[in-house]
A and B are shown apart, each in its own frame.
Chain A
Amino acid sequence: MTIKRRSFLKGLAGTGAGLSMAPLLTGKAEAREVRRVQDDHVGMLYDATKCIGCKACETACKTANKLELELDPTGTFDAPRDLSTNAFNIIKMYNGPEGMSYVKRQCMHCVDPNCVSGCPTSALNKEPNGIVSYDKDACCGCRYCQMNCPYNIPKFEFNDWYGEIKKCELCRETNLVTSGQPACTEACPAGAVIFGKVKDLLVEAKSRVQKSPSLYLNHVYGEKDGGGTSVLYLSKVPFDKLGLPNLPEYSQAYAQESVQHRLYQYLALPGILYVILAGIAFKNRSGHKED
């Protein structure tokens, strides 16, 4: 429903009249609705306590998405240090007073993504199956998505004459088509990351916590964090130690669009303001002609 309304608005905006007033058209009397996980949204559940850190998922991701290797100085080991334009998925490790844990990082496929909300040219989109997709033909390379992503996921090809944004798209054009699931979940030998419908994964995550409360924090990261994500996390080590930030239970995109919609609501439509301004300027016309 929301998608339909937006494309309708795009049509309206396209008619030319009041291009800049387009945002006000989306404004309802109240703040905009809260977006929630839909029944057919797909995602992943990563259980840090099961991960053995073998990095099979990294290799599988690079193979499936035809990404360049980032070899170490000896040239024998693919060793990405962080997510990059050549690494959409990476295993990192935390070892500290709270214990030791691996963590898998990739796009979280937020329920209400900031990147989609902020993208000026619709290059990032929330697909009907919940995947946050990227379209290089729409992207103008402004890199606003990098600035507003709370997880720092989108990467830009800074050393390319006409670079693109690169990130995990849950193998939507590669492994998901050929094998029905992303390369990383297919490759995982330990069952640490599994693919499925988000609502099923959430049930599974909660039952694991319930069965062995000593093994996990009583928190499924991604259920509510940042308004929810399609990738869910279970861990014993606090999530912020694993690089997953403490976020409020709403998406910043929700907060931003609510303010913006309200602002244009409050202006009682810039159109009316325009008429008033033009009216005053018209009335004052003779006053300063000869100054």
Chain B
Amino acid sequence: MDHEKALGGKIFTGPVAFLLLLFLVCAYFLVIRYINGIGTVSNLTDHQSWGVWKVVGVLVGAAFVNGGYVTAFLVYIVNKGQYHRFVRQAVLFSLLGYSFAATSLVYDTGRYVNLLNFFIPKYMQPNSALFEVGICITAYIVILAIEFLPGLLEKFMPEGEKSDNLAANLHAFLNKVLFLTVAFGVLLPTMHQSGLGALAFLMGQKISPLWQTPWVSFLYVTSSVFMGLCIVVIIDILYHPKSLKNQEYLGLLKTLLKIGVYVAIFWIVFRFVEVIRNGGASNLFDVGFEFIFFWAEMILIVIGMIMIRKTNARSLFSGAALMLTGGLLYRINTYLVGFEGAPGVTYFPSVPELMISIGMLALQIAIFITFVKIFPIISQE
């Protein structure tokens, strides 16, 4: 039977040191950003005022962590207990990802102190998709923290069945009300993912018909489902090098990815219908920058789906990685490639701008690596 265990081992290893070094570079540029302003470290302008910080930090970051809600849905709502082993690691990854999405807003927004206005009734603006996104992210971070708490508590619980201290009691209580948190944990990300797409719709004609549609929210939710499944499989394979020959284990991963493939097929069909319906049929074959990035999205996902047909660790891993990359590209494309603020305006992030995003990502990965060594997150045979 599977059970989550702390992996143990040395905390401060080479890879962790490298990740922290990346973060130090990022911190240096952040200091400059806070003293002199956003424009001094980034290539953001009035015509392209959202760049990698928002698009990669928040949109892609948020997509990256969908594993949490997708697995929670499968285990607790569809009642597929066999996937239970994936829940805790996915929840930790989601928690970190969303925290970092929220953190990236603190350096991306110009008047960061006023982010608190999201929670002050007189400033709330319920018609805004961005308001919805902000509130859903915050609420979901709280929910994820509650979902994750049992893992932390187990560390402080005495051994044995009848443990009786504060940690154990809280653990038992959380288990009892788990169904309440789980329901929020499924509902909020759905709303939040749709909000991320809705942001694009208000930009109207500034976004190419290859990405712009009234259904963009729906496409964001559906893409988050297959991306979430892929990320769960990727993390699990990385942490179970010994199981890679085990057919039963691989079969489990494959059934998970199969759900993702069905969703992705539906998504692709829907996407083409919308492009054509919105008058983008000619854009599909208009060779250029947008053309390349649109088809790159599609080809990555399709090749990924084909690779998943084989049941071996290498194919499953690469297939999931390709589908995930395609899905991430979709989000980047919507706001960066497909977006034209004014005719002829192009944008490419500056080195400091990229380093800030990379450094924050490195810190996130370092924290994940460290957490799974200390706390019982990853399930072991």
Residues of chain A at the chain B interface (Cβ within 8 Å)? 6, 9-11, 13-14, 19-20, 22-23, 25-26, 84, 114, 117-123, 136-144, 146-148, 150, 152, 154-164, 245, 247, 252-253, 255-257, 259-260, 263, 270, 273-275, 277-278, 280-282, 284-285, 287-288, 291
Residues in A with CB closer than 8 Å to B131 are 22, 120-121
- Expressed in whole angstroms, the minimum distance between the Cβ of B377 and any Cβ of chain A is 16
Query: What per-residue 1/0 map shows which CB atoms of B284-303 lie under 8 Å from chain A?
Result: 00000000000000000000
Size category of the B interface is 35 or more
A23's partner among B114, B127, B182, B205 (CB-CB below 8 A) is B127
Excluding A20-B139, A142-B105, 6 further A-B contacts by CB distance (< 8 Å) are: A19-B139, A140-B118, A141-B111, A143-B50, A146-B47, A281-B179
Check if A120 sits within 8 Å of B118, measured CB to CB: yes
Residues of chain B at the chain A interface (Cβ within 8 Å)? 1-2, 34-40, 42, 44-47, 49-50, 75-77, 79, 81-82, 84-85, 105, 108-112, 114-115, 117-118, 121-132, 134-136, 139, 178-180, 182-184, 186-188, 191, 194, 198-199, 201-206, 214, 217, 339, 341-342
12 A-B interface contacts by CB (under 8 A): A22-B135, A121-B125, A138-B114, A141-B110, A147-B206, A147-B339, A150-B206, A157-B110, A163-B110, A259-B198, A259-B217, A280-B76
Check if A121 sits within 8 Å of B123, measured CB to CB: yes
Q: Are A121 and B114 CB-contacts (below 8 A) given A23-B126, A147-B203, A277-B182?
A: yes
A114's partner among B49, B108, B110, B202 (CB-CB below 8 A) is B202
A144's partner among B47, B130, B201, B204 (CB-CB below 8 A) is B130
- Expressed in whole angstroms, the minimum distance between the Cβ of A102 and any Cβ of chain B is 19
Check if B35 sits within 8 Å of A161, measured CB to CB: yes
Check if A158 sits within 8 Å of B39, measured CB to CB: yes
Check if A121 sits within 8 Å of B118, measured CB to CB: yes
Complex CA–CA separation, A137 to B44 (angstroms): 23
- Expressed in whole angstroms, the minimum distance between the Cβ of B220 and any Cβ of chain A is 12
- Expressed in whole angstroms, the minimum distance between the Cβ of B248 and any Cβ of chain A is 15
When C-beta atoms are compared, the residue in chain A nearest to B45 turns out to be A158
Complex CA–CA separation, A251 to B76 (angstroms): 42
B124's partner among A13, A159, A247, A291 (CB-CB below 8 A) is A13
Check if A140 sits within 8 Å of B117, measured CB to CB: yes
Residues in A with CB closer than 8 Å to B45 are 158
Check if B38 sits within 8 Å of A158, measured CB to CB: yes
Check if B130 sits within 8 Å of A277, measured CB to CB: no
- Expressed in whole angstroms, the minimum distance between the Cβ of A72 and any Cβ of chain B is 21
Check if A121 sits within 8 Å of B117, measured CB to CB: yes
Complex CA–CA separation, A287 to B80 (angstroms): 9
Check if A263 sits within 8 Å of B217, measured CB to CB: yes
Residues in B with CB closer than 8 Å to A255 are 201, 204, 214
Check if A156 sits within 8 Å of B81, measured CB to CB: no
Check if A9 sits within 8 Å of B37, measured CB to CB: no
Check if B111 sits within 8 Å of A117, measured CB to CB: no
Residues in A with CB closer than 8 Å to B194 are 263
Complex CA–CA separation, A162 to B35 (angstroms): 9
A282's partner among B128, B179, B187 (CB-CB below 8 A) is B179
A284's partner among B38, B79, B203 (CB-CB below 8 A) is B79
